[in-house]
């Protein structure tokens, strides 16, 4: 279980390159960057097909990971890092965008299906389904034909207000999740987003 782990990987999903950095699909990268900032992690360094930063959150050693392959190849980028550090899937937290959650909502669970998310599907295929998933709601555009353009477009000016609150809340409350208390993490983030 997460609470007994000595090393945790926190993986943010996104697409590499400046043209994608403010896309809704890159909220996982944004969250990991905010965690690094709020918990004083050193600058990210290239390792294999990832950017990593090592530090501590609470009592745990944590490696923040941003796969530098495209979203649908996230698993092939993550796998070598996890194997090198001998981190099992249940000690990995993956943060990513979720269309089927209202904007600013957060859900956490271990394992389950990919729900149509190509990054999670690739992680499941290369690494197993027992990772912890932190789904950050980006809202649904209303019709399946608009999904791709929705996630591959930047957050709007109106969305940037709640987005910053969400990223800070996730970063500030992540110690609870790292210590294995997913319910406290979700409750605290939800409370912050309501205030």
Catalytic residues: 25
- Parallel, antiparallel, or unpaired: how do β-strands 60-67 and 106-110 relate? unpaired
Q: How far apart are CA 132 and CA 77, in angstroms?
A: 17
Q: How far apart are CA 166 and CA 160, in angstroms?
A: 10
Closest CA to 128 of 176, 84, 94: 94
To 10 degrees, what angle do helices 27-38 and 159-178 make? 60
- Which residues 6+ apart lie within 8 Å of 19 measured at CB? none
For residue 12 the two structure tokens come to 């943010």
8 Å CB contact between 35 and 171: yes
Closest CA to 174 of 67, 86, 62, 97: 62
Provide the β-strand partners of residue 52.
45, 65
The torsion angles phi and psi of 18, rounded to 5 degrees, stand at: -60, -25
């Amino acid at each position: 279980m997460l609470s007994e782990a000595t090393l945790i990987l926190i993986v943010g999903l996104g697409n590499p390159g400046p043209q994608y950095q403010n896309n809704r699909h890159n909220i996982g990268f944004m969250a990991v960057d905010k965690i690094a900032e709020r918990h004083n992690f050193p600058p990210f360094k290239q390792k294999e097909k990832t950017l990593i930063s090592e530090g501590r959150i609470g009592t745990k050693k944590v490696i923040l990971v941003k796969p530098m392959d495209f979203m649908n190849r996230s698993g092939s980028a993550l796998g070598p890092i996890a194997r090198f550090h001998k981190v099992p899937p249940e000690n990995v937290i993956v943060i990513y965008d979720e269309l089927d959650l209202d904007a600013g909502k957060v859900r956490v669970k271990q394992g389950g299906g990919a729900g149509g998310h190509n990054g999670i599907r690739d992680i499941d295929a290369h690494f197993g389904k027992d990772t912890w998933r932190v789904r950050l709601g980006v809202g649904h555009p209303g019709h399946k034909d608009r999904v791709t353009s929705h996630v591959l477009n930047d957050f709007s000016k109106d969305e940037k207000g709640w987005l910053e609150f969400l990223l800070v809340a996730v970063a500030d409350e992540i110690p609870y999740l790292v210590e294995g208390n997913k319910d406290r993490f979700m409750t605290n983030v939800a409370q912050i987003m309501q205030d």
